[in-house]
Amino acid sequence: MNPNKALWEKGDFTRLAATMRESGDALVESIGVTPGMKVLDLGCGDGTTALPAAQRGADVLGVDIAANLVAAGNKRAEEAGLKNLRFQEGDACNLEDIGDQQFDLVVTIFGAMFAPKPHDVAKEMVRVTKPGGRIVMGNWIPNDPTLVASILKISAAYTPPPPEGFVSPMLWGSEDHVAERFAGAGIARDHITFQRDTYTFNFPGAPSGFVNTFASFYGPTMNAFAAAEANGKQDALREELEALFAAQNKSGRSDFTSCPATFLRVTVQR
């Protein structure tokens, strides 16, 4: 199996996505999704941004590499009565089932950044966007001190070195790397804008409970715990993560966890 597909079908990302809904809705509101707009949500999970886009009247296609998340997204769309939203499997590195210049807006929020061939991802996103359309990416930032970048950094310290040729997904959080990748897809630097933005995770429980959710359902953290356990270091990993989550919790409560995470918002004008 494709290793990236295996990673995101591992566990159940919908359990994490449930903590991300409010920020997903706010992000869609801020990027100006309007009725009749054709939107591709790439690396969409179970629809944290695809659903709000469809609720605003856009015609939305959600594409994800994980079959379980596609099924979960189609179920959410059906339950919400959204005939203008559908989900299908696909690989951000090769959108072979999608024709050129189909979409007014391509959105990928912490999705396409994890695909293994970033230059191909940039080319595919540009290819399927209409002239005059936009691409909006949300990408975690390397060495950022907030929640998700810190989780990934801590987890990496407990896992074996990546295979030769591996390109870190965190490089999508570097403005220079983003500009270089889109330049290879024919986009000039002055057609790309960057801003720091915040995504908040809201979990109805203690920080330690939120760590359990990541450890049980989030592929990268699950892999980190499996590697740590093989070396007898699982307790050290859990201790580091619990300290991180407690420090990041801004709710002021011990029975509710609210953690803001900074990301790089990239807007490309086609």
- Residue 7 maps to which CATH number? 3.40.50.150
Tell me the β-bridge partners of 36: none
Judged against a pLDDT cut of 80, whether residue 1 lies above it is answered with no
Contact indicator for 185, 1 with CB cutoff of 8 Å: no
Closest CA to 60 of 69, 71, 68, 52: 52
Judged against a pLDDT cut of 80, whether residue 37 lies above it is answered with yes
Judged against a pLDDT cut of 90, whether residue 163 lies above it is answered with no
For residue 162, the model assigns a pLDDT of 86
Judged against a pLDDT cut of 90, whether residue 164 lies above it is answered with no
Query: Residue 171, SS3?
Result: helix
Reported confidence tier of residue 133, pLDDT bands at 50, 70, 90: very high
For residue 28, the model assigns a pLDDT of 98
In this prediction the pTM is 0.96
**Phi, psi (rounded to 5 degrees) for 254:** -95, -15
Q: For 46-62, what is the mean pLDDT?
A: 98
> CA dist 24 to 53, 138, 254, Å?
10, 11, 24
Residue 172, domain extent: 3-269
Q: 173-216: per-residue pLDDT in tens?
A: 999 999 999 999 999 999 999 999 999 999 999 999 999 999 99
Contact indicator for 224, 150 with CB cutoff of 8 Å: no
Tokens of 62: 């959600």
Give how many domains the chain has, as a whole number: 1
CA–CA distance, 262 with 124 (Å, rounded to integer): 26
